[in-house]
Amino acid sequence: MPKAIRKMLQNGYSHDEPDRIPNNITIKNLDIIMYVVAIVGHLVDLGLDINVAVRYSLAQKMVEFGWTLTFILLPAFVNTAVSIRMYAQDKQQDSVTNEITKRHWLRIFILVLQLAPILRFTDALIYAIKSRRAARKRDTSSQRMYYGLMLKEDSDAALLRVFECFLEAAPQQVLQTSLLFRAYDQLALHQILSIMSSVVGMGWCLAAYQRAVRFAQQDKENMGWCGTALHTAWHFLVTLSRVLSIAIIAYLYPYCTVLACSCHVLAMSVWLQICERPPFCAHNKMAELAFSLALGGVYLFTYILPVEGRTRYRYTVYYTICFFQNVTCTILWYFFVDNAMRSSLYFYPVLVLSFVPFLLGLVFMVIYYSFFHPKVCDKSDQIVVRYKNDETVMEVSS
């Protein structure tokens, strides 16, 4: 996959495999731990979601079972399709990244099981360990090669985790929260576990995403830890607010919620096709439309930049729309919720959390862009990107 294309996909901050690997490269224990936690966390989150789906099935709640299963399988299918496309592009490139095409049958087996992010993080972990071993043997060339492969897998995993975060974790939170409000006492524990695992998974997705930004930002100054924390908190709080807003309206009007969310996703997809045109899958119109539709699903919860460019007006339009949607959901919850829910412990906390985190997230966004957003390096170090058909030509300006 062309490096510049992945940069534009992943939040517009140049965070795919780096164009220049740093001279001093080290694999720390924290890096190894983060990969292991990412793998284990994904499996735990998936296991708890499957558990709650099985509980619905055993309780003969087939509608709930169907929706839970849909929000498990559909995001996994999207991630698998995107991952396969990445592998196909990697195989076409004459570069060291072709090493990832090894263990062919194992990869097919894992992709069939819909575990694309696990595969990417496992590969990144393997390359990190190999780079570390090469460093101990003072084999500099192998150390740098495996480090580059690790960064590549890390950045690919970051894109897949974005889709997992906003197409699986966030929708699961919406679904299970709205069902929890309906007081399925015998299933409450399993619902809460699923919700909590999705919340933790969503936070980890965003943290891993920002970690990939920090690793491969070569044409901008490095993002400090304060900037990373603010950026993660901004998206986490906005997404949390969106999740609760959609959950409370789903509790009140489930079918209208499905229709409204579908309209929002469709509108965002049309916006992407008309105004943004992300270059991923640009060679195939149907694949391009499918990718825009998947990204439109992400935009149900938060906005990530699909292409480079100025963000002020895009953020203004998107967050204004979301602001009025959240306000509408909060008003409907306050005036039209039933008396049983109004007298429950959920009523006022949900009323606050459906709106306040959204505003707080926007405050973090403003602080981030005002003081912590990475600045572009000196022009003599910038990388110029030009497109010719489906090829990407990259030059270092002098």
Q: Give me the phi and psi of 396, to 5 degrees please.
A: -100, 115
Using one digit for the tens of pLDDT, what is the confidence trace for 128-144? 898 888 888 888 888 88
Task: Give yes or no for a contact between 168 and 83, defined as CB atoms under 8 angstroms apart.
Answer: no
For the cut 90, the answer to whether the pLDDT of residue 331 exceeds it is yes
For the cut 60, the answer to whether the pLDDT of residue 268 exceeds it is yes
Q: How high is the pLDDT of residue 148?
A: 81
Highest mean pLDDT among 31-35, 157-161, 198-202: 31-35
Domains in the chain: boundaries: 1-196, 224-373
Ramachandran bin of 44, using left for φ above 0, alpha for ψ from -120 to 50, beta for the remaining angles: alpha
Q: How high is the pLDDT of residue 111?
A: 57
Report percent pLDDT > 90 for the chain.
14
Q: How high is the pLDDT of residue 199?
A: 78
More confident residue, 263 or 285: 263
For the cut 50, the answer to whether the pLDDT of residue 120 exceeds it is yes
pLDDT band at residue 17 using 50, 70 and 90 as cut-offs: very low
Q: How high is the pLDDT of residue 323?
A: 93
Strand partners, 391: 388
For the cut 70, the answer to whether the pLDDT of residue 391 exceeds it is no
pLDDT band at residue 160 using 50, 70 and 90 as cut-offs: confident
Q: How high is the pLDDT of residue 248?
A: 92
pLDDT band at residue 192 using 50, 70 and 90 as cut-offs: confident
Q: How high is the pLDDT of residue 99?
A: 45
Task: Give yes or no for a contact between 221 and 62, defined as CB atoms under 8 angstroms apart.
Answer: no
Q: How high is the pLDDT of residue 264?
A: 92
More confident residue, 52 or 82: 52
Q: How high is the pLDDT of residue 378?
A: 47
Token readout for 314 is 């895009």
For strands 383-388 and 391-396, give the pairing.
antiparallel
Q: How high is the pLDDT of residue 242?
A: 92
More confident residue, 106 or 273: 273
For the cut 80, the answer to whether the pLDDT of residue 250 exceeds it is yes
More confident residue, 9 or 324: 324
Q: How high is the pLDDT of residue 259?
A: 94
Task: Give yes or no for a contact between 61 and 147, defined as CB atoms under 8 angstroms apart.
Answer: no
For the cut 80, the answer to whether the pLDDT of residue 383 exceeds it is no
Using one digit for the tens of pLDDT, what is the confidence trace for 64-109? 899 899 888 888 887 777 777 776 666 655 444 444 445 555 555 5
Q: How high is the pLDDT of residue 23?
A: 54
For the cut 50, the answer to whether the pLDDT of residue 379 exceeds it is no
CA 332-335-336 angle, to 5 degrees, is 70
Q: How far apart are CA 105 and CA 102, in angstroms?
A: 9
Average pLDDT over residues 314-321: 89
Using one digit for the tens of pLDDT, what is the confidence trace for 199-230? 777 766 766 666 665 565 555 555 666 777 88
pLDDT band at residue 16 using 50, 70 and 90 as cut-offs: very low
